[in-house]
């Protein structure tokens, strides 16, 4: 299969089949907390998609050039001081600290950019924008990219294009999930939900039913692969 | 109340410790830390490993944040919290990879995802950044026990119904048809939703009884 087809499959796989919320359970806090109204849910989903894309590009660059075992920049710096050393320099112990720092930086960047150029959007996001720092979707995407850059070579290796597609469609998957949930919850306002289940309880049960529905996408990638040929 | 150390504002360390277990249970009451609760609760063994890792990170980072609380700047505090947490998560992750390799592979990305677990950031923000070391540690231990309790209840239901086992030991009769859906993602969501409803129902019934009025809440 050609490169574009592989990217398309990766996109469908990330957004629908292995949906962030319904398959990996990441991003559940905003999924429960910010899914009361469709417009705020849509805004939150877009913000997460954007930040994920920025953070993924930053973390791919950092992993590839600095953190991965035998990364070019680190090796070069090491050789400056130890010209005769043949050791493989591995900084991957710093991965988590660096990713958290990059995510916080990306959120700050996006916040400043949005405040400068889209003041209306900035007001609509309000407190949600800084809270994205602690959204698991972004860290999950960074970790997944790390797994495919350091340690894995051959077909598992991800270049910047795969990393970007993965990040954007992880965000789109989250957007789809949170908008569906907000739509259902708006209708739910008119229903007589048993009192103990009101709020988070019924939301979790609906999420379970939606997860069942999303399980129906299993195998779509195999079908598409067969349809387009190898 | 011998632990009363003179905190005119707010609960004593002992009260904070007890509050964390049930009245302010992080999962059932505050709806925090849902991601690991759903993701690794399909067997007791992985659930308890995750609870242990969260307890270690929560207590250590609460301790450190409480020690440096005088130096925190308001606009940088979330960054300082997450960097502190990330350091301890790296320690926990390396430890698991070294001594419990199988379990570390099974938990996969959910160990590093402890960094963005809202329970820990919330406790740093609400308690550790404002209170003395003893209060912060008591609070962290109480919250960790509450989290472990929540993980244990969900994992018990899911493992019993899904595999017919508990901690890997066969409990259910041989003829028990394993409910595969309980192991899969939908089972996690539905179990947690129903358990939340049950906890609220019991809470409302007890509050109703002590207030004299009959609990009018009824289960679906």
In a domain, B69, yes or no: yes
Predicted pLDDT at A1: 62
Predicted pLDDT at B161: 87
Q: What does the pLDDT look like over A109-163, one tens digit per residue?
A: 888 888 888 887 777 766 667 777 777 888 999 988 888 887 665 667 888 888 9
Range from B103-117, B128-142, B202-216 carrying the lowest mean pLDDT:
B202-216
Given a cut of 60, whether residue B2 has pLDDT beyond it is no
Would you place residue B6 in the very low, low, confident or very high pLDDT band (cuts 50, 70, 90)? very low
Distance from CA of A229 to the nearest CA of B (A): 31
**β-strand B169-170 against B165-166: which pairing, if any?**
antiparallel
Which residues on A lie below 8 Å from B194 (Cβ)? 201, 205
Predicted pLDDT at B184: 86
Domain range holding B164? 13-208
Q: Which is nearest to B38 in space by CA: B210, B147, B188?
A: B188
Question: Could you say which DSSP state residue B178 is in?
Answer: P
Q: Please judge whether B185 and A202 are an interchain contact, meaning their C-beta atoms are less than 8 angstroms apart.
A: no
Helix (H, G, I), strand (E, B) or coil at B165: strand
Given a cut of 60, whether residue B9 has pLDDT beyond it is no
Residue B7 C-beta-side C-alpha neighbours within 13 Å: 20
In a domain, B133, yes or no: yes
Q: Which residues of A22-49 are buried (b: 16+ CB within 10 A; e: fewer)?
A: bbbbbbbbbbbbbbeebebbebbbebbb
More confident call, A155 vs A223: A223
Predicted pLDDT at B99: 92
| Cα B49 to Cα B102: distance, rounded to the nearest angstrom | 12
Domain count, chain B: 1
pTM (2 d.p.): 0.85
Q: Please judge whether B116 and A208 are an interchain contact, meaning their C-beta atoms are less than 8 angstroms apart.
A: no
Establish if A46 touches chain B: CB-CB under 8 angstroms: no
List the end-to-end C-alpha distance of chain B, in Å, as a whole number.
41
Average pLDDT, chain A: 85
- Which residue of chain B is at minimal alpha-carbon distance from A131? B78
In a domain, B76, yes or no: yes
In a domain, B178, yes or no: yes
In a domain, B116, yes or no: yes
Q: Which is nearest to B117 in space by CA: A96, A214, A62, A167?
A: A96
Predicted pLDDT at B4: 43
Given a cut of 50, whether residue B7 has pLDDT beyond it is no
Predicted pLDDT at B214: 40
In a domain, B62, yes or no: yes
Three-point CA angle B148, B152, B156, nearest 5°: 175
| Cα B13 to Cα B127: distance, rounded to the nearest angstrom | 11
Q: What does the pLDDT look like over A34-89, one tens digit per residue?
A: 788 888 888 888 888 988 999 999 999 998 888 888 788 888 888 888 888 777 88
In a domain, B218, yes or no: no
Average of per-residue pLDDT across A4-24: 88
Query: Which positions 80-99 of B are in contact with A (Cβ < 8 Å)?
Result: 82-83, 86-87, 89-90, 93-94
Say how many CB pairs under 8 Å bridge A and B.
Answer: 135
Average pLDDT, chain B: 83
Q: Please judge whether A205 and B189 are an interchain contact, meaning their C-beta atoms are less than 8 angstroms apart.
A: yes
Q: Please judge whether A196 and B39 are an interchain contact, meaning their C-beta atoms are less than 8 angstroms apart.
A: no
Distances from the Cα of A16 to the Cα of A140, A197, A217, A219, B14, angstroms: 16, 28, 7, 11, 47
**Percent share of chain B, pLDDT over 70:** 90
Distance from CA of A227 to the nearest CA of B (A): 28
Which residues on B lie below 8 Å from A48 (Cβ)? none
Region for residue B73 given its phi and psi (left: phi exceeds 0; alpha: psi -120 to 50; beta: otherwise): beta
In a domain, B203, yes or no: yes
Predicted pLDDT at B194: 92
Q: What does the pLDDT look like over B158-191, one tens digit per residue?
A: 988 888 888 877 877 777 787 888 888 888 999 9
Query: Which positions 53-112 of A are in contact with B (Cβ < 8 Å)?
Result: 93, 95-97, 99-101, 104
Check: CB of residue B49 under 8 Å from CB of residue B155. no
| Cα B128 to Cα B69: distance, rounded to the nearest angstrom | 8
Average of per-residue pLDDT across A8-15: 88
Predicted pLDDT at B3: 41
Q: Please judge whether A104 and B94 are an interchain contact, meaning their C-beta atoms are less than 8 angstroms apart.
A: no
Distance from CA of A84 to the nearest CA of B (A): 30
Establish if B200 touches chain A: CB-CB under 8 angstroms: yes
Q: Please judge whether B109 and A101 are an interchain contact, meaning their C-beta atoms are less than 8 angstroms apart.
A: no
Average of per-residue pLDDT across B73-100: 88
Residue B140 token pair: 């962290």
Q: Please judge whether A204 and B190 are an interchain contact, meaning their C-beta atoms are less than 8 angstroms apart.
A: yes
List the end-to-end C-alpha distance of chain A, in Å, as a whole number.
4
At B173, give phi and psi (nearest 5°): -60, 155
| Cα B57 to Cα B155: distance, rounded to the nearest angstrom | 21
Predicted pLDDT at A173: 94
Establish if B219 touches chain A: CB-CB under 8 angstroms: yes
Average of per-residue pLDDT across B74-80: 81
Which residues on B lie below 8 Å from A136 (Cβ)? 35, 113, 116
Q: Looking at this predicted complex, what is its ipTM?
A: 0.84
Three-point CA angle B4, B9, B14, nearest 5°: 35
Would you place residue B96 in the very low, low, confident or very high pLDDT band (cuts 50, 70, 90)? very high
Predicted pLDDT at B10: 66
């Amino acid at each position: 299969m050609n490169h574009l087809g592989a990217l398309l499959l990766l996109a469908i796989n990330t957004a629908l089949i292995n949906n962030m919320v319904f398959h990996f359970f990441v991003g559940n806090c905003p999924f429960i907390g910010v899914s009361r109204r469709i417009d705020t849910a849509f805004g939150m989903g877009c913000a997460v998609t954007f930040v994920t894309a920025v953070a993924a590009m930053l973390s791919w660059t950092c992993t590839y050039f600095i953190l991965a075992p035998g990364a070019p920049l680190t090796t070069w710096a090491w050789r400056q001081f130890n010209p005769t050393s043949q050791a493989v320099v591995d900084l991957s112990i710093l991965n988590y600290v660096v990713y958290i720092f990059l995510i916080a930086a990306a959120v700050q960047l996006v916040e400043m950019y949005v405040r400068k150029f889209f003041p209306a959007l900035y007001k609509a996001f309000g407190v949600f924008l800084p809270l994205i720092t602690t959204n698991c979707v972004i860290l999950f995407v960074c970790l997944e990219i790390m797994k495919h850059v350091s340690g894995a070579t051959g077909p598992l290796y991800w270049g910047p294009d795969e990393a970007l597609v993965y990040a954007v469609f992880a965000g789109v998957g989250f957007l789809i999930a949170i908008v569906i949930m907000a739509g259902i919850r708006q209708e739910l306002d008119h229903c007589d939900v048993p009192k103990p289940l009101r709020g988070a309880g019924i939301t979790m049960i609906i999420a379970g039913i939606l997860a069942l529905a999303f399980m129906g996408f299993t195998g779509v990638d195999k079908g598409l692969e067969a349809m387009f040929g190898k | 109340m011998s632990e009363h150390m003179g905190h005119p504002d707010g609960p004593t360390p002992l009260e904070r410790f007890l509050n964390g277990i049930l009245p302010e249970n992080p999962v059932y009451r505050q709806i925090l830390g849902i991601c690991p609760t759903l993701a690794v609760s399909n067997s007791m063994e992985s659930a308890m490993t995750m609870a242990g890792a969260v307890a270690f990170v929560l207590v250590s980072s609460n301790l450190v944040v409480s020690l440096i609380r005088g130096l925190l700047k308001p606009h940088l505090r979330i960054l300082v919290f997450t960097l502190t947490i990330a350091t301890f998560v790296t320690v926990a992750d390396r430890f698991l990879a070294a001594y419990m390799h199988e379990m570390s592979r099974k938990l996969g990305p959910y160990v590093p995802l402890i960094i963005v677990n809202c329970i820990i950031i919330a406790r740093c923000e609400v308690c550790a950044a404002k209170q003395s070391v003893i209060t912060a540690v008591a609070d962290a231990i109480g919250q960790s026990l509450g989290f472990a309790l929540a993980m244990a209840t969900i994992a018990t239901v899911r493992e019993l119904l899904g595999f017919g086992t508990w901690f890997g030991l066969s409990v259910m009769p041989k003829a028990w048809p394993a409910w595969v859906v309980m192991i899969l993602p939908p089972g996690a969501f539905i179990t947690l939703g129903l358990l939340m409803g049950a906890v609220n129902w019991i809470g409302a019934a007890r509050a109703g009884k002590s207030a004299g009025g009959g609990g009018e809440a009824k289960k679906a």
